Structure 1
């Protein structure tokens, strides 16, 4: 009897020891699962963070060379000098339809003919300051009527006011002063001969 009782006691003790061992193992496993759920936990158990670890720094970009600053002695570029103002010509054609420069006289063909050269004012108008009459092209001749109405000023006659003169007076002066180039305004009659001729005074 005693031996059987001792055997049951030893069996209970062994069972209790096994239960205690199982409980200890279960407790250790649960603690490991809780640690694994913590932030930063690593598999295989918690490890203490290193106190000497430092955050990695991104490499700084290499400093580029700054653009050279202009020196204090630099000066602004000078503007080109503007051309001197000139009178604006308002004529398109170089030859005026009613102007001529008187050159010479010729009686060829049995009629009175003036050798002339057509042209225009240098700036389109006699009223423009500094304008001059500029003959262009070749010399030509135009017949003038015996009864043509002619007016003249200096230097053909004395004074600046236009004065009527005869064709003979005009021919005498032109023959004595060939190639004067004095400007005249003229008009042609139905026969193609000059019937009106007016000298245009030029100031000195």
Structure 2
């Protein structure tokens, strides 16, 4: 009797297991595709890496971004080289044709400029250095001046030696940079102010 009951219980458990397995498989099939059409027919959604711009209200084609246009036609220009770090290692040798004019003196019967030589430092401005020296200048020297001697002038305009010395009287020790040339006698015959912002 006990053996019959055990066999019956085993049979019931086997039937229940078969029913449960069948129900799980049918449920998976229905959940996977309940009356759904093949996935190939569904429209593909745009990906995040390739956005599709919406059409404008006027019907014009959407414009591409500025970066894409410039990259397609004109490749970006390389970045300019960075300026060198300023310091004593970047100083140039003493300039042979540039002086900083500090003052003038009429002593000795001839007008002489009181000047300093110097170097073009970093980032390119003339830097006077060393002792003050004297350079005689001709009364007929060809002189061009810019701002601040001529406040509104940037390109350079001719002035006379007396106009220069008159400005130096009221603005001593400014150290404005000039390119100069000496004649055979060692007298300044050309003097061109270097414009400094």
Aligned residues: 112
Q: How much has 1:96 moved relative to structure 2?
A: 0.7
**Shift in CA distance, 187/86, structure 1 to aligned 2, threshold 3 Å:** same
Q: Which residue of 2 aligns with 1:122?
A: 121
- Cα deviation 1:32-62 (Å, max 9, x = unaligned): xxxxxxxxxxxxxxxxxxxxxxxxxxxxxxx
Give the number of the structure whose alpha-carbon radius of gyration is greater: 1
Q: How much has 1:90 moved relative to structure 2?
A: 6.8
Q: TM-score w.r.t. structure 1 length?
A: 0.52
Instruction: Give the match's secondary structure for 1:170.
Output: helix
Structure 2 CA distance for aligned equivalents of residues 143 and 98 of structure 1: 15
Matched-pair contact (CA < 8 Å) for 2:120–2:127: yes
Structure 1 residue runs of 4+, over 6 Å off? Answer: none
Q: Which residue of 1 aligns with 2:68?
A: none
Q: Which residue of 2 aligns with 1:144?
A: 137
Structure 2 CA distance for aligned equivalents of residues 185 and 89 of structure 1: 22
Kindly report the root-mean-square deviation, in angstroms, between the aligned alpha carbons of the 2 structures.
1.8
Q: Which residue of 2 aligns with 1:17?
A: none
Say whether 1:164 aligns with 2:158: yes
Structure 1 CA distance for aligned equivalents of residues 90 and 187 of structure 2: 31
Q: Which residue of 2 aligns with 1:153?
A: 146
Structure 2 CA distance for aligned equivalents of residues 101 and 118 of structure 1: 6
Instruction: Give the match's secondary structure for 1:172.
Output: helix
Structure 1 spans left out of the alignment, 5+ residues: 1-83, 124-129
Q: Which residue of 2 aligns with 1:105?
A: 104
Q: TM-score w.r.t. structure 2 length?
A: 0.54
Structure 2 spans left out of the alignment, 5+ residues: 1-82
Matched-pair contact (CA < 8 Å) for 2:146–2:194: yes
Structure 2 CA distance for aligned equivalents of residues 90 and 117 of structure 1: 17
Instruction: Give the match's secondary structure for 2:162.
Output: helix
**Shift in CA distance, 161/112, structure 1 to aligned 2, threshold 3 Å:** same
Q: How much has 1:186 moved relative to structure 2?
A: 0.2
Structure 2 CA distance for aligned equivalents of residues 159 and 167 of structure 1: 18
Q: Which residue of 2 aligns with 1:180?
A: 174
